[in-house]
Structure 1
Amino acid sequence: MLTRMIPEIGHFALIIAALMAVTQAIVPLAGAATRRPLWMAYAAPMALGQFAFVLLAYLCLTASYMLDDFSVVNVADNSNSMLPWYYKFSAVWGNHEGSVLLWSLMLATWGFAVSRLSRGLPRDMVARVLGVMGSVSAGFLLFVLITSNPFERSLPNIPEDGADLNPLLQDFGLVIHPPMLYMGYVGFSVVFAFAIAALLGGRLDSAWTRWARPWTNVAWAFLTVGIALGSWWAYYELGWGGWWFWDPVENASLLPWLTGTALIHSLAVTEKRGSFKSWTVLLAIFTFSLSLLGTFLVRSGVLTSVHSFANDPSRGLFILVLLGITVGLSLLVFALRAPRVSHAVGFGLVSRDSLLLVNNILLVIMTVTVLLGTLYPLLLDAFGLGKISVGPPYFNALFVPLTVLMCVFMGLGPIARWKRMAGSELRRRLWLAGLVALVIAALMPLIYGGEWNPWVSLGLVAALWIVLPLVRDLIDKARKGATPLTGLRRQSLAYWGMVVGHLGMAITITGVTVVSNYSVEENVRMSPGDSVEVAGYTFSMQELKQRRGANFLSDIAVIEVVGSDGERRFVMEPEKRLYLARGMPMTQVALRPGPLRDLYVAMGEELGDGAWAMRIQYKPMVRWLWLGAVLMASGGLLAVADRRYRRRASQSQQRDVSAVQEATA
């Protein structure tokens, strides 16, 4: 009897969570405005209660999937009795309703974490932060309850079995990719809440940036890993061997990452120098707003993409209204409050401050470039002005030069001093690094490809220009200690986080450069006994076989691969699957990964007489793309783990608490 009531329990839990979110949005903010401690004290219990009830609702939906309760419309549309249990688990968020519920759970989780880990902050600040987060949670929970109820029943007409999960989503990458991406998206709500709370409280000083920086770094790290996982999934699952296609939904995740990267650097300047205050607040607002925009694009029905949930446009209208309210009210608060609590801090033309400012401007220009290319076709279509397609040629022509220019300033930044620095000193410290970068970048294409390639040299010089100044800076710091090791040990984890993050960017740029210019692809017809040579490797089809999986049938090609030396022999087995419930064919590629290259084989269509269309690719350094992303995320987390930074923030919080207590005594 209890199992039959699981959906009703989940629905009721969502209603309670929404009521708590509304209470969290109204009462603590009103208490902070009227200086009523009792009202402010509602913030933390409401955040805890909201988290508990949203978690209960999510567990109820998960239980409905695991128990094959096809009376729930969401389960019947996205699961099947033959579906393996781990895909039933991921099917919970493999649809519109479940994904929005996961989003709400992530938002409640961040709110709960803030309430637990911010006890040392001033009471009014915590109340405002949690109040703002409660407002966002209330909007999304109302969205779930009004337009996207995941517990809707189909009683009394219960289907015998479900329609099955989309075969594209039956993959391990989709088990971990959406949660990582959502944690990044939603995590930026924390710095957004801190920024609005600082404006409301008139505390637009360096203190709020110290409180917000760790949350921002963690959210950015999650988003970085989430984007990398999505790129990795597209590479091996879709069968075309690509890792980024400038799909609008891919762009939707890139937009907040770009402004989030600018936000991380802007927060550092605000904390260190007390400048960039307006930049920091606006970047916090726009980063979270772009996360909401991505949600609108994915769920409005205006896009057709393998990544999107093209559903009822009324749902998109709800999110569009929520986005408009969020952006409008936050910009209104900024316009009213920022001029009163900000002040200018000077710095020279040659300084770390100015270089970070230029980098922020470039990142914003890159964001606008991607945003324009993503939205312009949609706006033209919406106003009946025709249909156009904006694809990789547009984005590559604008985004790549801006990235190279950004790398120039990335190399200069770690070497430069705060406030001001002599241009001659900067040249003296960097001329050798620049010369070495140019020489290596010019010679590497000749050594690797046999001929000079200007695009490869440009990409490599950009990557080397990021790394070599860091090497120079590390050498300088090592010389300042009694021994080189002592000098390096003195550096904080925040510094090492910067080093690792910049190194990750350089590795990603190297991977993008090499794989984009030196990939080899052959589309061939192969039958058992046929052979083809690609990039020095001989691919020979030995046989065709079949197997039955849990919910699919597959044809498998057994291909023996022999290296150019005749000694490296291994077997690759690409598959062509037919999923039984949906009757949908899917390609399962065969990969032979390596640190310097991937071999990639995908089965196309059956051509008759035992022959198949085969796509064989040689992908040099493709894994450097994702290795670099992992290092970038690790750099962000290293900064959060810096004990000295946390101790300094804690001491500052204690001083702030004492000041507030004295002022209100």
Structure 2
Amino acid sequence: MIAEIGHFALVLALCVALVQAVVPLMGANRGWASWMAVAGPASSLQFLFIAVAFGALTNAYVTSDFSVMNVAQNSHTEKPMLYKVAGVWGNHEGSLLLWITILALFGFAVTLFGRNLPPGLKSRALSVQAMISVGFLAFILLTSNPFARLEPPPMDGNGLNPMLQDPGLAFHPPMLYLGYVGFSMAFSFAIAALLEGRVDAAWARWVRPWTLAAWIFLTGGIILGSWWAYYTLGWGGWWYWDPVENASFMPWLAGTALLHSAVVVEKRDALKSWTILLAIVAFGFSLLGTFLVRSGVLTSVHAFATDPARGVFVLLLLCLAVGGSFTLYAMRAPAMKMGGLFSPISREGALLLNNVLMATGAATVLLGTLYPLIADALNLGKVSVGPPFFNAVFLPLMAPMVVVMAVGPMMAWKRGDLAGVLGRLKFAAAIALGGAMLVWFLQGGSAGPWWTGIGFALALWLGLGTLLDLAERIRLFQAPGEALGRAARLPRSSWGMVLAHLGVAVFIVGLTASSAWTTERIQSQKIGETVTVGGFGITLTGVHEVPGPNYTASRASFDISKDGSVIDVMQPEKRTYRMPPRPTTTAAIRSGLLGDLYVVIGDADPKGGYVTRLYFNPCIPWLWAGGALLVIGGLISLGDRRHRIGAPAQAATRRVAA
């Protein structure tokens, strides 16, 4: 009965979404306040119905109701409760319902926290949001019903993919979806602005917190996903340029550009048309990722569906949303006023240059991701585009972007003094150059990769430039006694920028060191045998069977020694799940400031040994630390008073009058 209530709630949500998509938009076009007022209650009611449906599916998983086909295919009575709940979104139908739930949540959040929005803009944005909901609610009801019954119900289910039975995967997809779907709100505001024919500083002030919230969640989701791949898959890496990894990275790049572009609109009333385009592209990339994992064109742990009919439905939604928005953009964008003018050498110019570099990087990733699929569809043969292509093409685009990141915040608006800024940064440049030379010397000159010095120089340049900019803002060197008070009065957005830019610098250190200096040993290792990796002696002392809640594991014990003394014991596992019967690998990781020792146990060999994979990954914890600083910086910026208040009262009043 609860499953039927959930299904009926989705039907009611579709009806409400249809009303929300039509009535407020007509009211905004004709100036009917009563019709515009429908948007808020309709958004709240739609979220209520979808939340009931999501709760009904969660209840089916928690109670192991195997009469629901979705539960029977993706759960099992022996699964721990955490993974029963995570199983709700560990499949196509459930993850799609989560997608729709988050979509409705953002619309509901605008209803709650957007009271200072002009009625016309708010009603148009919520109508556009409802149009997206209509498409996905129709998709789930017509092709992907999560409440379909199974008769007769089995005693037990098939179980969830063992690779997904991990705490990281319990939290990674919801956070990633909050980012993916969150960009729908920026998209809705952009389309509403095109329909209204007005983009100004007030619009940028309203759209920034929603974009920033989506960016924070997407950043956290990507970092969690890479961390899960690192410690769960057992291959010692954290990013492989997988097509679905790329599908999350492209909206992140577009969203990052959108955040910075919106600042220029707010401060200088410039780049309006470009900002609207970025909002459309960011959500378009999110829809593209949804298509890739549900169309059957990919075979991946990330892929949920292999039914081409579902893929055609998502492709149709993608074409309607992106094609329709680009058509509207082509019609309305040329009529927008250009806004404030600025010199190429200015803060606006630096932000625009970084925008162009990030957009070019996103286009490069898009080309590398889609080209093999296009070549296969056109019978041009199987083409593989892997890490060598992306590393050779994408990373050089990011190097000048990092250089500009240190210079841009120190430039003046409208017209800057580049020579003066570079003069103030000469200390940072000298240290960066010295750091590059030191790295080159320590790695034995040409014995190591030539680009490691460049990576460390970029990290030092950005980190020191960011700290120097902060020091100038608080007048640390001019008035040290007042610096603390000035620091306390800095806007939270300024502190958020400082932490985020420092996070990028820290991330570059981890990326460079782990890519250049990772040590790897793969061998057959017998009990009592010692292998040396990264200065550590690693001795296999035994392998024994241990039971798990729904698996059995071969757990190995390794003594870790340094300078002849045992300093740790590491215990990786090779697990075999009962349902579905599938093996997985769980690595043992010893983290430190200078790097990770990474140990994996494999199968036994006929000679009495075990296949072991041993890695030392230098500075790889700096990757996660850099990602954490990005998220923290975003959260601090989101708490800025200007985001809580919204647009200036004068601008808001002027728009209401209009």
Q: Considering the TM-score relative to the shorter chain, is it more than 0.5?
A: yes
Kindly report which structure 2 residues correspond to 1:484-563, keeping only aligned pairs within 5 A, or say none: 484-563=483-562
Aligned residue in 2 for 1:582: 580
Query: Structure 1 43/609 Cα, relative in aligned 2: closer, same or farther at 3 Å?
Result: same
Letter in 2 for 1:146: L
Aligned residue in 2 for 1:330: 325
Query: Structure 1 86/661 Cα, relative in aligned 2: closer, same or farther at 3 Å?
Result: closer
How far residue 414 of structure 1 moved from its aligned partner, in angstroms, is 1.2
How far residue 158 of structure 1 moved from its aligned partner, in angstroms, is 1.7
Aligned residue in 1 for 2:48: 52
Letter in 2 for 1:196: I
SS of 1:544's equivalent in the other structure is strand
Q: Is the 8 A contact 1:492 1:644 kept in 2?
A: no
Kindly report which structure 2 residues correspond to 1:56-135, keeping only aligned pairs within 5 A, or say none: 56-135=52-131
SS of 2:409's equivalent in the other structure is coil
Q: Which runs of 5+ in 1 are unaligned?
A: none
Kindly report which structure 2 residues correspond to 1:100-499, keeping only aligned pairs within 5 A, or say none: 100-155=96-151, 157-447=152-442, 453-479=449-475, 481=479, 483-499=482-498
How far residue 445 of structure 1 moved from its aligned partner, in angstroms, is 4.3
Q: Which runs of 5+ in 2 are unaligned?
A: none
How far residue 490 of structure 1 moved from its aligned partner, in angstroms, is 3.0
Query: Structure 1 660/411 Cα, relative in aligned 2: closer, same or farther at 3 Å?
Result: closer
Q: Is the 8 A contact 1:355 1:409 kept in 2?
A: yes
Question: Which residue of 564, 568, 571 corresponds with 2:569?
Answer: 571
Q: Is the 8 A contact 1:442 1:452 kept in 2?
A: no
How far residue 612 of structure 1 moved from its aligned partner, in angstroms, is 1.1
TM-score (norm 2): 0.97
TM-score (norm 1): 0.96
Q: Distance in 1 between matches of 2:554 and 2:421?
A: 62
How far residue 201 of structure 1 moved from its aligned partner, in angstroms, is 1.2
Deviation larger for 536-545 or 223-232: 536-545
Letter in 1 for 2:2: I
Letter in 1 for 2:537: T
Q: Is the 8 A contact 1:304 1:310 kept in 2?
A: no
Q: Distance in 2 between matches of 1:439 and 1:499?
A: 24
Q: Distance in 1 between matches of 2:524 and 2:228?
A: 26
The answer to whether 1:639 aligns with 2:633 is: no
Q: C-alpha root-mean-square deviation of aligned residues, in Å?
A: 1.5
Query: Structure 1 101/644 Cα, relative in aligned 2: closer, same or farther at 3 Å?
Result: closer
Q: Distance in 2 between matches of 1:31 and 1:428?
A: 56
Letter in 1 for 2:605: L
- Identity, in percent, stands at 49
Q: Is the 8 A contact 2:495 2:633 kept in 1?
A: yes
- The CA deviation string for residues 283-332 of structure 1, in whole angstroms up to 9 with x for no partner, is 00000000000000011000111111132011111111111111111112
SS of 1:474's equivalent in the other structure is helix
How far residue 586 of structure 1 moved from its aligned partner, in angstroms, is 0.9
How far residue 448 of structure 1 moved from its aligned partner, in angstroms, is 6.5
Deviation larger for 371-380 or 437-446: 437-446
Letter in 1 for 2:394: F
Q: Is the 8 A contact 2:172 2:224 kept in 1?
A: yes
How far residue 89 of structure 1 moved from its aligned partner, in angstroms, is 0.3
> Number of residue pairs matched?
654
How far residue 595 of structure 1 moved from its aligned partner, in angstroms, is 2.4
SS of 2:474's equivalent in the other structure is helix
Aligned residue in 2 for 1:612: 610
SS of 1:92's equivalent in the other structure is helix
- The CA deviation string for residues 309-365 of structure 1, in whole angstroms up to 9 with x for no partner, is 132011111111111111111112212222223224321121111111111111111
Q: Distance in 2 between matches of 1:115 and 1:52?
A: 13
Q: Distance in 1 between matches of 2:230 and 2:656?
A: 56
Letter in 2 for 1:263: L
- The CA deviation string for residues 210-264 of structure 1, in whole angstroms up to 9 with x for no partner, is 0000111111010001000000000011110110001001000000001111001
How far residue 502 of structure 1 moved from its aligned partner, in angstroms, is 0.5
Q: Is the 8 A contact 2:202 2:652 kept in 1?
A: no
Letter in 2 for 1:522: R
How far residue 527 of structure 1 moved from its aligned partner, in angstroms, is 2.3
Query: Structure 1 36/449 Cα, relative in aligned 2: closer, same or farther at 3 Å?
Result: farther
SS of 2:89's equivalent in the other structure is coil
How far residue 656 of structure 1 moved from its aligned partner, in angstroms, is 4.6
Q: Distance in 2 between matches of 1:454 and 1:260?
A: 32
How far residue 645 of structure 1 moved from its aligned partner, in angstroms, is 5.1
How far residue 132 of structure 1 moved from its aligned partner, in angstroms, is 0.6
Q: Distance in 2 between matches of 1:69 and 1:609?
A: 47
Deviation larger for 259-268 or 334-343: 334-343
Q: Distance in 1 between matches of 2:547 and 2:369?
A: 41
Deviation larger for 437-446 or 165-174: 437-446
Q: Distance in 2 between matches of 1:80 and 1:225?
A: 29
Question: Which residue of 15, 21, 24 corresponds with 1:25?
Answer: 21
SS of 1:154's equivalent in the other structure is coil
Q: Is the 8 A contact 1:303 1:310 kept in 2?
A: no
Letter in 1 for 2:134: A
SS of 1:224's equivalent in the other structure is helix
Q: Is the 8 A contact 1:167 1:584 kept in 2?
A: yes
Aligned residue in 2 for 1:599: 597
Query: Structure 1 154/535 Cα, relative in aligned 2: closer, same or farther at 3 Å?
Result: same
